[in-house]
């Protein structure tokens, strides 16, 4: 009987299987990483219509986050400051600076400044900003050390997996409410004796002497104590965010 196919085709099925075994995991791994927020969002740093520096305003001038983002504690989203807020200072300070031309134009015409929104929760996900900051989650936990950014960039992926990790272990992020807007705060800055007097000892550490010299609190001790004291129990089911 005549041979209709060349001899090399006898190996074709095996070659296809081998290539598939290599390519499928490679493509899956590539999509898994390069099409996720960790790659597509982190580091995103758009050019804004006005070169606003948080390093200057928040760190050098010491302006509180809530002066500009005034709805942060009462609204489900944190607002971008309007022109009036900026002009409270810049009607006098740097009022002729050419970098602020867009601000002066906005003030004159009444048209808002076209800021490029950096952090945006998808429409299909519910997120309440006020709930988080009022329960001891600092701006730095999600947005990074914004107070040291000359140009703000996307610091964390803010993906579903990233959010769930925090919901499962909120003690890793909680801090005293009076330190939520202190983006340079560290657990070692907390006075152990004063903290224990206010919130009690961390669960499981009842026999530890927190008034002894040299004792420092850890994030786990602070977070676990606040989680217990404030009864923090973030939802982990789908309905918590997808309503």
DSSP per-residue letters across 81-120: P-HHHHHHHHTTTTTT-GGGHHHHHHHHH-PPP-PPP---
Highest mean pLDDT of the ranges 14-23, 33-42, 93-102: 93-102
* Whole-model pTM over 0.75: yes
Query: Any long-range contacts for 90-97 (C-beta under 8 Å, 24+ apart)?
Result: none
pLDDT (mean) for 196-202: 95
Using pLDDT thresholds of 50, 70 and 90, give the confidence band for residue 3.
low
What local confidence, expressed as pLDDT, does residue 108 receive? 96
CA angle 141, 144, 146 (to 5 degrees): 130
Residue 141 scores a pLDDT above 70? yes
Measured distance CA(237)–CA(239) in Å, rounded:
6
Mean pLDDT calculated for residue range 190-199: 96
- Cα–Cα nearest to 80, from 119, 35, 110: 119
Give the number of residues written for the chain: 243
Distance separating the N- and C-terminal Cα atoms of the chain: 68
Joined tokens for residue 145? 């050390």
pLDDT of amino acid 243: 87
User: Could you read off the pLDDT of 78-118 as tens digits, one per residue?
Assistant: 999 999 999 999 999 999 999 999 999 999 999 999 999 89
Using the predicted structure, report yes or no on whether residue 205 has a pLDDT greater than 60: yes
Phi, psi of 137 (to 5 degrees): -95, 120
Q: What is the distance between the alpha carbons of residues 53 and 147, in angstroms, rounded to a whole number?
A: 9
Residues facing residue 209 across a β-bridge: none
Does the pLDDT at position 1 exceed 70?
no
Tokens representing residue 118 in the block? 């950096």
Over 70: is that where the pLDDT of 130 sits?
yes
**Mean pLDDT on 144-173:** 96
How far is it, in rounded angstroms, from Cα 178 to Cα 158? 24
When comparing pLDDT for 23 and 229, which is higher?
Answer: 229
Q: What is the rounded average pLDDT of the residues 199-212?
A: 92
DSSP state for residue 139 in the 8-state scheme: H
């Amino acid at each position: 009987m005549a041979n209709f196919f060349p001899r090399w085709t006898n190996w074709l099925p095996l070659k296809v299987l081998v290539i598939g075994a290599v390519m499928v995991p490679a493509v899956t791994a590539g999509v898994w990483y390069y099409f996720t927020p960790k790659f597509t969002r982190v580091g995103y740093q758009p050019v804004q219509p006005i070169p606003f520096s948080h390093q200057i305003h928040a760190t050098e001038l010491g302006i509180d986050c809530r002066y500009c983002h005034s709805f942060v504690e009462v609204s489900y989203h944190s607002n971008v400051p309007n022109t009036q807020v900026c002009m409270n200072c810049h009607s006098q300070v740097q009022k002729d600076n050419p970098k602020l031309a867009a601000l002066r134009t906005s003030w004159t015409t009444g048209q808002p400044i076209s800021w490029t929104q950096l952090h945006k929760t998808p429409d299909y996900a519910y997120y309440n900003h006020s709930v988080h900051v009022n329960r001891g989650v600092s701006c730095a936990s999600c947005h990074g050390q914004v107070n040291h950014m000359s140009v703000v960039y996307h610091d964390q992926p803010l993906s579903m997996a990233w959010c769930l990790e925090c919901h499962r272990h909120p003690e890793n992020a909680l801090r005293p409410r009076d330190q939520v807007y202190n983006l340079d705060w560290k657990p070692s800055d907390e006075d152990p004796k004063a903290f224990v007097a206010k919130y009690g000892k961390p669960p499981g550490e009842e026999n530890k002497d927190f008034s002894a010299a040299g004792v420092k609190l850890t994030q786990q001790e602070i977070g676990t104590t606040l989680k217990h004291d404030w009864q923090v129990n973030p939802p982990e089911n789908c309905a918590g965010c997808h309503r």
